[in-house]
Chains A and B, each alone.
Chain A
Amino acid sequence: MLREIEEELLVAAQAGNTAAFERLVRLLEQPMLAVAAGFAHTPDDANDIYQDAMLAAYRALPKFKLESKFSTWLYKIVVNTALSNRRKLKRAWQKLAAVQAEYQHEEEYLVGVSPEAELLDSELSAKINQAMAKLTDRERIAFVLCHQQGFKLREAAEVMSCTENLVKVVLFRARAKLKVQLADYH
């Protein structure tokens, strides 16, 4: 039933119905924004990535094949947009970081997404942001998808267009780097 509704919305969105596209996106907006935030330096950057990705998705929608999984396709676009925007926004960020060592406008982290989810203290959140910035693009994608968003390895492999084994290797490396970076908190 859900699949049927999704297909109906997809067909309408492919014909240019923006309301249908918004409804499709709404089901995934929280995790997709969180994925964008996993790649960004600041919440503003993450919001920009999300908006750019959604516009790119809307433009590419006529090429989407109904037999594919919409959420995987959309996540791929968010990840690719995040990677290209990260390069674009790097210059602005460097300028910002140079002037503000005590910059507070960063992503904060929650353990889980339920309303009762516990907010990590700002010092640890800042440290996580710094540690995440030291990962390679691939390590970051694997970590954001599997560890933060709870993707199964095969789902992450689909988004990353690689084998499951490669996801495991990259994820292990990401975890090893983060363990070192966050050693003071273990």
Chain B
Amino acid sequence: MTTPTNNERLQLLLMDYLYGEMTERERQAFARELQSSPELQALLRDAERLDGTLPIGTQPRIDAERLQGNRWMLQQTLQREQRTAFSLQSWLQALAQRPLTVAFQGVAMAATFVLGMLIATEDPRGGDAALLAGTEPSAELSPLQLIESDDYEIYQLKVNSYDAASGAIDLSFSLASESRVQGNVADREIHKLMAVALQDDIDSASRMDTINALQPVSSGTDVQDALIYVLRNDENPGVRYQAVQSLVALASVDRVRDALRYALSEDINPGVRLEAFQALTKYQDPETLAVFRQQMESDSNEYIRTQARNIVEGTADAASSEL
């Protein structure tokens, strides 16, 4: 066992004084030691300096709106969790409470039923082989088709208004499901699901991972739409940056250029604006030049201002020499 040096002892004493629960007696002892110990006086002076800048209790701001948002999110998460847990757990629990032979019978019946369904049902998606080979499905598909009807439930059904005389009714409800899909990102069904998810409620890290995974298939319209949506609406600048990086290679597409022009003029993140600007420099159409003209005056980033001015003035010089 090591014995603390006097300085270490004083450090511990000071932490007790600042954060512990000293009794009156201990406080008096501390005050006496403080009077006689220049070392403790120096430590306390240092501590007071930090506490002057960062008083005890200084902490990140959590406003009412943020609390409300988190409360709502937690409610949704727990409801999803409860539904997923319920079906499996209750079935297993019920099974475990019966005699073993009955449990085996139950498992066997369930297995037979599932096998029967697999054999009897024609797979509308052409089976896993088609999925993995990345073949294009012939009909227009929605990601919801990846979710079987048994996988989701309706919850939070609300009657917003009801007119008893005419029978007119206005309902709102949420759908929740827990599903797992395995396949290849090149498959349209898979990347369409991911594209839709990008516009829904998934966390920032997952949005970034999703954009990363979608990069090789970003020429597809549905993926482009999702990336454009993210670039225009995502609150996380890291996610928007990843989206703009995926879109720069597609700047020849009109609506992608529209989104890039929007990002250049509206995004508060200079990294996002810079990527958009660099992609647009190759396309000096009138709309793009108009945005450059605006940014050469107003952009907070010096590089964008200077380069935009060079392009706008260069274009003007070329036009006047042609005349």
Contact = CB atoms under 8 A, between A and B. Distances in A.
Interface string B1-35: 00000001001101110011100000000000000
A148 B57 contact: yes
Instruction: Say what secondary structure dominates the interface of chain B.
Output: helix
A109 B60 contact: yes
A110 interface: yes
Contacts of B69: 47
A95 B242 contact: yes
A186 B15 contact: no
Contacts, number: 178
Contacts of A150: 56-57
B61 A110 contact: yes
Given A48-B203, A182-B54, A29 B269 contact: no
A92 interface: yes
A126 interface: no
A119 B61 contact: yes
A107 interface: yes
Nearest to B19: A146
A37 B81 contact: no
B70 A51 contact: yes
Contact of B62 (A33, A55, A120, A186): A33
B89 to A, nearest CB: 9
Interface stretch (A2-10, A71-79, A133-141, A172-180): A172-180
B59 A38 contact: yes
A92 B238 contact: yes
A104 to B, nearest CB: 8
B81 A55 contact: yes
A109 B49 contact: no
B20 A152 contact: yes
B254 to A, nearest CB: 26
A42 B208 CA distance: 15
Most chain B CB atoms below 10 A, which of A21, A59, A96: A96
Interface stretch (B72-80, B184-192, B224-232): B72-80
B57 A171 contact: no
Contact of B271 (A100, A105, A107, A149): A100
9 contacts: A18-B78, A25-B74, A55-B77, A99-B237, A99-B272, A104-B268, A167-B15, A169-B12, A171-B15
